[in-house]
Structure 1
Amino acid sequence: MRLDYNLNLTQEQKLVMTQAMQLSIKLLQMSTLELKEYIDKEFSENPILEAQYEKNQEEAKVQDRINYKEMVKYFEFDNYGSQSYSNYDEDSEISPFTFISNKKSLKEYLHEQIIDTSQEKYINSICDYIIENIDERGYLPVSLEEISKEINISMELAEDALNLVQSLDPPGIAARDLKECLKIQLIRRDFKDENLFTMVERELENLADNRYPVIAKEMNISTVEAQALGDIIKTLEPKPSRGFYTGEDTKYIIPDAYIRNIDGEYFIIMNDTVLPKLSVNNMYKEIIQEEKDKEATEYVKEKLNSAMFLIKGIESRRSTLYKVLEKIIERQKEYFDNGEDYLKPMTLKDIAMEIGMHESTVSRAIKDKYILTGRKTVRIKDLFVTGIQKNYSNEDVATTNIKKKIKELIDEEDKSKPMSDQGICDVLNAMQYDISRRTVAKYREEMDIKSSSKRKRF
């Protein structure tokens, strides 16, 4: 075997992603909140950057009108003014009323109820321990055996404490499974029909699928009776924690742009008030020009490049989104004029071709972004819909409008004889919509509407 070592010169084309390109793509797909968090992080780490927030003029006017000292005077009759706010700075944006109340979590609510019960402190402390083990759904995922071993108490004492916790509000709290949760609620609502408890114990799977004839046969009752019992069970809450604060904050939508109709013409106003205006600190430019300290100069150059990449990336994100919105308004003018019924089919490819960009760029540009129209806040992605052609014309109808018609047909159907997917398909075909049964089923499932067998009423 012979080994040869040779040098070969080859030429090839390939795309290398620069740091600036990578950052630009990363910024493009961020939502406004994500971008704000990213800018705040960069600002804290990069001394070159300077950030200045612009206060929304309307918000500023509202804040100027609020005089918290005057407001306190109105509450003095009820001791709200007992605390002195004489040192309160009127120019500060922090209101003293910000600190009056906090969100109360489900566990805090349960702990407070335990304190109000006339039980021994020892029992209360066991109840508190059980409450701390309740999960985000409101269930107790830990067995009583584990609890008794962990805190070294008898099973009898653990059961007494659990019964006390399960007697609290909301009904069904601290249940160990769905069946127990539903049974606790039936008892709390004073239902005594044994068939209800039997259905919960044995027929939940059939109940979920509306198989009332099967349930009736197995329980030896009529189908109508089975359905009546099922209706009661479906009013119960399978997730007792629903409606309570469980530690997750509400995520607010911040529109990236406002679409305004001025004298019949639509204008795009980018929402620049949320993000700060970034600039470079001039003091650091002098360090580069003087070049007295080599290490300091290199550090400043690195941070300066990072700052410039960020500033350019944000501007590129803004201009790309603006171009996309311009073309959307051109294509969907009737939608902005008249509402959802006039939404036309539109794809990422359509917009990408018109602005001379790749589909993936448009997809990133609209990801998690919203616009505020004259009617409501709209997710930009929801304006991109496919279409179904009408048989008598070349006009495409947006899938959102087809879904709306499917829902209307189901809402108006005879519930004792609900329409099948094929039946809905036949009606739509008679209305000249070119649609298949499989597509009807797909749209129905996307709208979370049950099949005809599960919608049937006896």
Structure 2
Amino acid sequence: MDFELNLSQQQKLVMTQQMQMSIKMLQMSSIELNEYVEKEMEENPLLEKEYAEKSQEISINKENDFTDKIDYDKFMKYLDFENYSHENNYKPEDEVSPFNFISREESLREYLINQLGEIQIKASQKKICKYIIENLDGKGYLPDSILDIAGQLNVSEDKVLNALKIVQSFEPDGIGARSLEECLKLQLEKKNIHDENLFYIVDKHLNSIAENKYTIIAKDLNITPKQAQEYGDIIKKLEPKPSRGFYTGDETKFIVPDAFIKKLDGEFFIIMNDNSIPRLSINNAYKTIINNAEGKDKDAEEYVKNKINSAVFLIKSIEQRKSTLYSVLKEIIDYQKEYFDKGVKYLKPMTLKDIADKIEMHESTVSRAIREKYIYTDRGIVKIKDLFTTGISSENTSSDSMSSSSVKGKIKELVENEDARNPLSDQKICDLLNSQGMNISRRTVAKYREEMNIKSSSKRKRY
């Protein structure tokens, strides 16, 4: 063993921190990118934002006037020419948006407290009711026992039971229940349904209803399977989670399409959604700092230059993100014209490699570009990733294969048109598809059926 020095030559990809950040920004959704921009604006005082009113351009491939190495004297002139300024665009005569006065959503707790305030009961009883309301869980159930509540409030169990009955009389139906069975029975009572068989089924046979095993219920109650299924239909219409639909305190994040696909004169156009991401500019106040700091305060001058570099990088990265997404969408539209024209049945098998080869980018870049991004089409909002599907070999189509989405559409169509008294098994569906020229196995049929949340034949049967 000995120590020695050797020279070697090797190729290695070294990614700078900026390159890594640019890749991360490419795969961000609109909401994530907005959050990132907000964070950058807090740290960089030179950044300003304004939302575009409406983009008049279809293509976003613009010539970028920024260079990696910045001549700051020329850069200041460039900003003056482009009129990047820190102006206040607010005008006193501007109309105030009516959306500013829209109230926030009412929570379940507030809804129940309002109902409590409308009834005339003793203050002591109202206090117990409020305690019960405060302790309801996310489903609208009461997890605490009557004994525990009585001990915590130092009152009798009868008073707690009376207070619980008051809360259970409120809307939504089934609120304040201590179990699923009690929740369903409360709803039946409020609907003035007092059939003993229904209450018995709720207590003893909820699992049988879930498994569509109506013969077991019929045998137990000495009724026909058809009657048992009719009881099951009534129970299935009840709400197992009374809190559903109420504001839970979490902000709802709506889907924001990154682009609009419009058909004009038989041709598809891509309109990038400029409103989804703020348009960034650079604050002109930096000029005074640089001019005053020349030869005097090197630290201030260096700080401003670093922030300018950071701001320019962010602006360039956002533009590059839009440009890459535009290129990907352009190729997708060329590839899937029939889908955009006629619907999901005409969706062709398409992989990341198919698009990556056409735009001469790596598959991972395409994957990042479409991650959590949506487009608005004539058929509604579509997740871009859903347009990439695998293929199933087919003998009757002109192409070598058809997409899995098309096969799912065929399966759904067969199930919708089946005889409900004798539903199609997975093997029968497989045989029917194979007779139409599709090479598909029973396991694949079962997999696609489960992905579409279609129950098995035994659970779809109607008596």
TM above 0.5: yes
C-alpha contact 2:180 2:240 (8 A) present in aligned 1:
yes
CA separation in 2, counterparts of 1:309 and 1:302? 11
Q: Which amino acid aligns with 2:52?
A: E
Aligned partner of 2:25 in structure 1 is 27
Moved more, 314-323 or 27-36: 27-36
Q: Is the 8 A contact 1:391 1:433 kept in 2?
A: yes
Flag the 1:380–1:119 CA change in 2: closer, same or farther, 3 A: same
CA distance in 2, matches of 1:177, 1:236: 14
Offset at residue 173 of structure 1 (A): 0.6
CA distance in 2, matches of 1:57, 1:206: 57
Distance 1:448 1:183 in 2: 28
Cα separation, partners in 2 of 1:349 and 1:147, compared to 1, 3 Å: farther
How far, CA to CA, are the matches of 2:420 and 2:266 in structure 1? 45
- Which of the numbers 51, 59, 70 marks the counterpart of 2:49? 51
1:37 equivalent in structure 2: 35
Asked if 1:385 is matched to 2:383, the reply is no
SS of 2:313's partner is: helix
Shift in Å at residue 287 of structure 1?
4.8
- Equivalent position amino acid for 2:339 in 1: Y
Which residue pairs with 1:405 in the alignment? 410
Which of 364, 371, 376 is residue 375 of structure 2 equivalent to?
A: 371
1:336 aligns with 2:334: no
Residue 298 of structure 1 corresponds to 302
SS at match of 1:127: helix
**CA, structure 1 residues 57+344, in 2 after alignment: closer, same or farther (shift >3 Å)?**
closer
* SS in structure 1 of the partner of residue 280 of structure 2: strand
* Aligned counterparts of 2:373 and 2:102: Cα–Cα separation in 1: 34
Letter in 2 for 1:35: L
C-alpha distance in structure 2 between counterparts of 1:342 and 1:329, whole Å: 13
Q: Which moved more, 1:403-412 or 1:222-231?
A: 222-231
The question of whether the paired residues in 1 share the 8 Å contact of 2:430 and 2:445 is answered with yes
Residues 34 and 115 of structure 1, relative CA distance in 2, 3 Å threshold: same
Name the SS of the counterpart of 1:273 in structure 2: helix
* Equivalent runs, 1:154-165 vs 2, <5 Å: 154-165=156-167
Task: Give the conservation status (yes or no) of the 8 Å contact 1:148–1:155.
Answer: yes
Distance 1:8 1:178 in 2: 74
CA distance in 2, matches of 1:403, 1:215: 34
1:104 matched residue in structure 2: 106
Q: Which residue of 2 aligns with 1:70?
A: none
Of all paired residues, the percent bearing the same amino acid is 58
Structure 1 segments unaligned to the other structure (5+ residues): 59-87
Q: Quote the Cα distance in structure 2 between the aligned partners of 1:275 and 1:166.
A: 46
Aligned twin of 1:266: 268
Structure 1 residues 319-328 or 395-404, which shifts more? 395-404
Q: Give the aligned residue type for 2:303.
A: Y
Deviations 1:111-168 (A, max 9, x none): 1111112211211121111112222222222333332333332222222111111111
Residue 392 of structure 1 and its aligned partner are, at CA, apart by 4.0
| CA distance in structure 1 between the partners assigned to 2:363 and 2:221 by the alignment | 57
Structure 1, 113-122 or 373-382: larger mean CA deviation? 373-382
Cα shift at 1:266? 2.2
2:199 alignment counterpart: 197
Distance between the aligned counterparts of 1:372 and 1:291, measured in 2? 54
CA distance in 1 between counterparts of 2:102 and 2:287 reads 47
Q: RMSD between aligned alpha carbons?
A: 2.4
Partner of 1:422: 427
Residue 140 of structure 2 aligns with which residue?
A: 138
Once residues 439 and 127 of structure 1 are traced to their aligned partners in structure 2, the CA distance between those partners, rounded to angstroms, is 53
Per-residue deviation, 1:299: 2.3
Deviation at 1:285, TM superposition (A): 5.6
- Structure 1 residues 363 and 144, CA gap change in structure 2 (3 angstroms): farther
SS of 1:174's equivalent in the other structure is: coil
Distance 1:7 1:283 in 2: 54
Q: 1:408 to 1:132 in 2, by over 3 A?
A: same
In structure 2, what is the equivalent of residue 445 of structure 1? 450
Structure 1 CA distance for aligned equivalents of residues 268 and 228 of structure 2:
57
| Match in the other structure for 1:320 | 324
Q: What's the offset of the Cα at 1:358?
A: 2.1
Listed as ranges, the matches of 1:272-291 within 5 Å are 272-284=274-286, 287=289, 290-291=294-295
Give the Cα–Cα distance (whole angstroms) in 1 for the partners of residues 243 and 225 of structure 2. Answer: 33
Matches within 5 A, 1:46-195: 46-56=44-54, 89-95=92-98, 98-99=100-101, 101-195=103-197
Q: Which whole-Å CA distance do the structure 2 matches of 1:287 and 1:7 have between them?
A: 50
Deviation at 1:89, TM superposition (A): 4.8
2:275 is paired with a residue whose SS is coil
Q: Does 1:431 align with 2:436?
A: yes
Cα deviation for residue 245 of structure 1 reads 2.5
Distance 1:432 1:57 in 2: 47
Q: Which runs of 5+ in 2 are unaligned?
A: 57-90
What SS does structure 1 have at the residue aligned with 2:48?
Answer: strand
SS in 1 for 2:268: strand
Matched residue count: 426
Which is worse superposed, 258-267 or 198-207?
258-267
Q: Deviations over 1:252-288 (max 9, x none)?
A: 2222112232333322221223323223334436655
> Structure 1's 159 and 291: CA in aligned 2 closer, same or farther, altered over 3 A?
farther
Distance change (3 Å), C-alpha of 1:232 and 1:51: closer
Q: Deviations over 1:222-253 (max 9, x none)?
A: 32332222122111111111232223344322
1:341-396 Cα distance to aligned partner (Å, 9 max, x none): 32211111211122222222211111121222244322212211222121245622
Distance in 2 between the 1:232 and 1:373 partners?
38
Deviation at 1:219, TM superposition (A): 4.2
Checking the alignment, whether the CA contact within 8 Å between 1:291 and 1:297 is kept in structure 2 is no
CA distance in 2, matches of 1:297, 1:146: 67
Letter in 2 for 1:261: K
Distance 1:362 1:217 in 2: 58
Q: 1:375 to 1:445 in 2, by over 3 A?
A: closer
Q: Match for 1:111: what amino acid?
A: I
1:350 aligns with 2:354: yes
Question: Does structure 1 retain, via aligned residues, the 8 Å contact 2:289–2:301?
Answer: yes
TM-score, structure 1 length as denominator?
Answer: 0.86
